[in-house]
Structure 1
């Protein structure tokens, strides 16, 4: 089970990370890959995939999965876009915890402390 009330992960969103995610996910929307396309859509830089931020957040529960827990639900809402060179900080805090279920609140913020995502994940044993 969790030894701490909160888990935190920080990661810089790089062009390389976005490009790699686009290749793996198959989502090659130009606003993710080309600054010019992002600019034409009104964004200052390439926009990171929302699902990329969810994937980064999933790293928080990897240690639990390695000891037999199963991710049964992971849902978030995206509040603001993340851009190339942004730093995302994702914090997961335990809402409920038992021998068979863990529910956590997840919040992601950029380097300016603006919320970019929020939601909930649940693990079962």
Structure 2
């Protein structure tokens, strides 16, 4: 599942999360840190992964999750969320268009009845 992460989304997330670290919202701060442009918040990506997964699996509950970031994702870039179900575990793989690995993780899920 692909999602393009926009500057507007990151500015909105920074505002509601109160995570205004300049590396996420300021071009010059990102350059000083060695990035071409601002980077996406890791917690934003984790929350987005959960939302995207639950949208297609509405009868599941994520009990626990873990994610390990391997690289930063630049703002205004597309990320591919790949979910592989293995019993009660869901393996998550985030990558960019050129197959650059961003993060790997696991959701521990449980079915629930509404």
On whether the aligned pair clears a TM of 0.5, the verdict is yes
Runs of 4+ with >4 A deviation: none
Give TM-score scaled by structure 1 length.
0.82
Q: RMSD in angstroms over aligned alpha carbons?
A: 1.2
Normalised TM-score (structure 2):
0.89
Unaligned runs of 5+ in 2: none
Residues 59-107 of structure 1, C-alpha deviations (whole Å, 9 max, x = no match): 212343x33x2210111000110112211001010111xxxxx211000
Matched, 1:113 2:99: yes
Q: Gapped runs of 5+ residues in structure 1?
A: 1-8, 97-101
1:1-125 matches, cutoff 5 A: 9-58=1-50, 59-64=52-57, 66-67=58-59, 69-96=60-87, 102-125=88-111
Q: CA deviation at 1:30?
A: 0.3
Aligned pair count reads 110
Q: d(CA) in 1 for partners of 2:16 and 2:69?
A: 21
